[in-house]
Structures are given as C-alpha cells and as structure tokens.
Amino acid sequence: MRRLVVFNNITLDGFFTDANGQIAWAHKGNDKEYNDFVAENAKGGDTLILGRKTYQELASFWPTEQAKKTMPEAAEGMNRMRKLVFSKSLNDATWSNTTLLKGDIAEEVRRVKQEAGGDIAILGSGSIVSALAQQGLIDEYQVVVNPVVIGKGRTMFDRIRSNMDLQLTKSRVFGNGKVYLCYEPTKGA
Amino acid sequence: MRRLVVFNNITLDGFFTDANGQIAWAHKGNDKEYNDFVAENAKGGDTLILGRKTYQELASFWPTEQAKKTMPEAAEGMNRMRKLVFSKSLNDATWSNTTLLKGDIAEEVRRVKQEAGGDIAILGSGSIVSALAQQGLIDEYQVVVNPVVIGKGRTMFDRIRSNMDLQLTKSRVFGNGKVYLCYEPTKGA
C-alpha cells in the first residue's frame, strides 16, 4: 500500500501558518544543504493531497513564469505531480494534473492508498492532517522545526481530540537552524 | 551578568501544558540517558523563576515524602534552590527558600540578573516567558520536543506580539524520542 506522508515546516511554538495563513518565516535562512535535502526527500512522492487554502496558495505560485525561472526543478516537479484537492467550496481546480474531490476525505484517501504509485504527501492543509491523523491514515509525519517564534497561528493538529503518541524515526539538524524530525504513529496506539 | 534560561518540555504541536494545565505526557518514556542529561543540565542553576500556576504545581510535589523517596536528588535540589514567584493573587508562599514578588516582572528580573549567582531558570510559567521574551531578557531557550500531539493547550509564547528569530546553538536526540533543542535570541534582533 502507498504511504501517506505529511511534510510541513512549523515554528518553535508549533504553528504551520501564522494567524493570516502566511508562512514567510519558513522561507528565511534557506541554504543549499537544506534545499538539496528537501529536493531529495520529495523524490519518493508522486501525488499531493491538499486542502483548499494550501491548494490556492501553491496554485498561485508554482505555475507562474517567476517560479519556473527562479526554481525550475521544483516548479517542474510541483506542476507535474498529481494533485488531489479536497474542497466543498471550489468549483474547479485549473492547476495542471489536479483533481477536485468532494467526497469523504478518509474514504477517498483509503481508496488512493490502494492504487499503484509512490508516496502520497500532504503539504500544509491542517484540517486534512487532523482529520486523517485521527483515522490512523497517516504513515509518517515529517516536520521541520524553524528557529522562530510567532505567537499566534494554526497547528496541524487543532482538531485532534485525543493524545497521539509518536515514535521518532529520523532527525537531522541543518546549518540554518532548521531541525527535521520524522515520526511514525506508535504501533498499536 | 547572570544568564536567564527557559527550560520546558513541549509537545510536537507546541504546547508546554495541555488545556487543563497538565503535563503528564512529558513524564512518559523517561529513561536513564535522558534523566542524567536533565540532572547534569540543571547543575549550573541556583535560582528558579516561577509563575503562580507552575509554583503551585511544583510546591505540591517536591516537598512531599513521596518526592524525597522516589527522586531524592532532584527533590533535594528543587527544595534547596532559591525560588522567585511572581503572583498578584498569592498571599504567601510556604515552600522552602521561596520569595513572593509583587512588582513589575521585567524590573525584578533585571535586578536579580545583576546579583551574584549562577544561572536563573524559568520552568513552565508561560505568561512569564512571554513577558520576558518580548523585553529581550531571556538569554537561552531550552526546549525538549516530546513525541506526542495533544491538539489543544498553551504555548509559552502566546503573548508574543511580533515574530522572534532564534539561533539554534545545541541539539540532542534521546533514545526515548525526546529531542532537546537549545536556542539563543538572534543577535541584533
């Protein structure tokens, strides 16, 4: 079965977006070592699952000439990958290789995990992470702790209703102060 | 001048206490390597700064016979250290070597940092961390990221009004999945 992996930058106070849905803090202090890691790390995946807000954010950047010029490899990958977007309110999704899904999130994800293919990644999309985490459908949480505190924002887990124990499986510290932490749900939890 | 150091366990979603002020999740999965590290790490400090809630939590445990029996060294240290408690509502603080302070937190802390002595540590006490962080009075943030997600709780930084950039200075990964991250405020920030 395909693995479902969350990849998100968070602040030291636990937020993946600030109170206005912005993540400018995650783009500070990027360096080659970190960028190479992210590019390599993304290679196993061929499908993205996105909520509406994250979809709109990404779709407004990656197809642009600016993205293709400044980050050609990443833009090629983002535009080529299959995108599954969960939204009740969107009527169409025009970004290349994007499918709009209206059904039950957990059911759709169970179906996609049974299909042939590589890893499925969730970027941003806190409401989707919360929904799928509680259902035990997420196989791995990859979190990059950024050296910044922002005071207010949204966590990926704000709809979790009971404590969720995790197992740390990998970690890596970068020269720019970012810390990559990789967790799996604790077996039997 | 004496250094002022924050030491707190947090969850992966950024909380130092759950919504009911409890930290039972921080006491799971303790092991000898981690406990030895915490004991060694605490050695440089001789003074604790505490808010009312954290004071009452600690004062209800460390002076008891149970604490002295099960964790004799830690209990001896906690009971011996100088405790400075900030509270408008408490009328007295009966734990050994405790002083109740009613004045302006930042002013009192500036005064204490000028006195002779070792490091000053803040445990728990989110409202105090937020107040002193904004004033630039905290020299180091020592955070232990626990392998758990709890959904709701309090961050140490909920009263921070502007982004605060930090510099990662040390890190250590433990066998129980806890990750120690040590930061200083970014110079000139």
Q: State in words which class domain A4-185 has.
A: alpha beta
Q: Compute the nearest-CA separation of A147 from chain B (Å).
A: 5
> pTM value?
0.93
- pLDDT over 80 at B30, yes or no: no
Q: For residue B115, give the 3-state DSSP assignment.
A: coil
Contacts of B167 in chain A (CB under 8 A): 147, 177
Q: Kindly state whether A185 is in contact with chain B, defined as any CB-CB distance less than 8 angstroms.
A: no
Say what the pLDDT of residue A125 is.
87
Work out the minimum CA distance from B121 to partner chain A, whole angstroms.
Answer: 19
Min Cα separation A121/chain B (Å): 19
pLDDT one-digit tens code per residue, B69-128: 988 888 898 999 999 999 999 999 999 999 999 999 999 999 999 999 999 999 988 889
Q: Is the pLDDT of residue A139 over 90?
A: yes
Residue pair A47/A12 in contact (Cβ under 8 Å)? The answer is no
Write the CB contacts of B76 (distance below 8 Å, at least 6 apart in sequence). Answer: B68
Residues of B in contact with A156 (CB under 8 A): 13
- CB-based contact A179 B183, cutoff 8 Å: no
B145 and A CB contact within 8 Å: yes
- Which CATH number applies to B4-159+174-179? 3.40.430.10
Q: Any chain A CB within 8 A of the CB of B154?
A: no
A94 three-class SS: coil
pLDDT > 70 in chain B, percent? 98
- Confidence grade of residue B188 (pLDDT, cut at 50, 70, 90): low
**Chain-chain contact of A166 with B143 (C-beta, under 8 angstroms):** no
Predicted interface score ipTM higher than 0.95:
no
In 3D space, the residue among B124, B160, B159, B128 whose CA is nearest the CA of residue B143 turns out to be B124
Q: Rounded mean pLDDT of A130-154? A: 95
Test B162 with A151 for CB contact under 8 angstroms.
Answer: yes
Taking a C-beta distance cutoff of 8 angstroms, is the pair B41, B181 a contact? no
Q: What is the pLDDT of residues B112-130, one digit of tens each?
A: 999 999 999 999 888 899 9
Confidence check: pLDDT of B9 > 80? yes
Residues with Cβ < 8 Å from B135, sequence gap 6 or more? B106
B181 contacts A155? CB cut-off 8 A: no
Tens-digit pLDDT profile for residues A51-100: 998 999 999 999 999 999 988 888 898 999 999 999 999 999 999 999 99
**pLDDT at residue B15 tops 70:** yes
- The answer to whether the CB of B3 falls within 8 A of the CB of B137 is no
Cβ-based neighbours of B170, under 8 Å, separated by 6 or more:
B180, B181, B182
CA distance A172 to A32: 15
Domain ranges of chain B: 4-159+174-179
Q: What is the DSSP letter of B186?
A: P
Report A:26-65 residues touching B (Cβ under 8 A). Answer: 28
Say which of B14, B147, B152 has its CB closest to residue A168: B147
